[in-house]
Structure 1
Amino acid sequence: MAQEDLEDVYSSFSNRSYATSVFHAELASQKAVKALITALGFEPGKTHRSTVVLKALISGGLVSLEKYLMEKIDKIVSYAIVLEDQGTTPKYR
């Protein structure tokens, strides 16, 4: 599902439909973070801010992985937050 959204990102971007491209990037990011939460053994719930859920699991000490994996998750979260913040912006411009 996230892969389909990524394909839509590339298609929209190449057609100069930038707002649609950002929208699909945000959806792909959201689905990827939810997949990560699920892979870690948790239920992501129904939210458009899945990074908040993941950060809460980490700060609550429920996720403890090797340092390099935690660094990768931290990087994923930082990118996903940027996209979450843009999720609704293009619709209202």
Structure 2
Amino acid sequence: MSGMDNLRLVEGWIRLALEDWRLIESIDYTRYKGATVYHAQQFVEKLCKAIIAALGFEPPKTHKPSWEIDSILTDIRLGNVKLSIDSEVIELLEKMSALAKTLEDEGTRPRYGVRHRDGIIPPDDYYSIDHVKLLLNDATT
């Protein structure tokens, strides 16, 4: 990927992430808990893809891009990928990846709720306001 294409790709992912964040800011998270978590999840996924692109890689088509960041960082540590990254930046990326997983691990719950034998718990019933606040905090840390 050329430098200019890479910058455009990073910018594109960041712009898409910010669209999700602006939507979160515009809705009442106490009323639309599932939608809030869904867009927080999308925000984090797109930021992770921006980081992958910034590192010079094509972001994979996945809902769990933090695992790709982990893989890249492992390859850097093992010397399989030659990138000059300060240890502080690597540590920050590791922390960010770990927090991203809290939202990625929500999977389809923010859209479809939770299926049980006797029915479905809708997302707005499944998520408490405190749970939404915790996930939003993870998204912005």
The normalised TM-score by structure 2 is: 0.60
The runs of at least 4 aligned residues of structure 1 exceeding 6 Å deviation read none
Deviation at residue 15 of structure 1 after TM alignment: 5.9
Is residue 2:93 matched to residue 1:73? yes
Mapped to 2, the partners of 1:92 and 1:33 lie a distance apart of 23
Structure 2: gaps spanning 5 or more residues:
1-15, 114-141
Partner of 1:30: 45
Structure 2 contact 67–97 (Cα < 8 Å) conserved: no
**Relative contact order higher in (CA < 8 Å, ≥ 6 apart):** 1
Deviation at residue 84 of structure 1 after TM alignment: 0.2
Q: What is the percentage of aligned positions where both structures have the same residue?
A: 34
The RMSD of aligned alpha carbons is: 1.6
Mapped to 2, the partners of 1:86 and 1:13 lie a distance apart of 20
Amino acid at match of 2:51: L
Determine which structure has the larger strand proportion and give its number.
2
Structure 1 contact 30–84 (Cα < 8 Å) conserved: yes
Partner of 2:126: none
Structure 2 contact 49–65 (Cα < 8 Å) conserved: yes
Mapped to 2, the partners of 1:6 and 1:45 lie a distance apart of 22
Q: How many residues end up aligned between the 2 structures?
A: 93
Determine which structure has the larger helix proportion and give its number.
1
Mapped to 1, the partners of 2:45 and 2:112 lie a distance apart of 20
Deviation at residue 76 of structure 1 after TM alignment: 1.1
Find the structure with the greater CA-based Rg. 2
Deviation at residue 33 of structure 1 after TM alignment: 0.3
Superposed, which structure 2 residues align to 1:10-89 within 5 Å?
10-14=25-29, 16-61=31-76, 62=81, 65-89=85-109
Structure 1 contact 12–18 (Cα < 8 Å) conserved: no
Mapped to 2, the partners of 1:5 and 1:19 lie a distance apart of 14
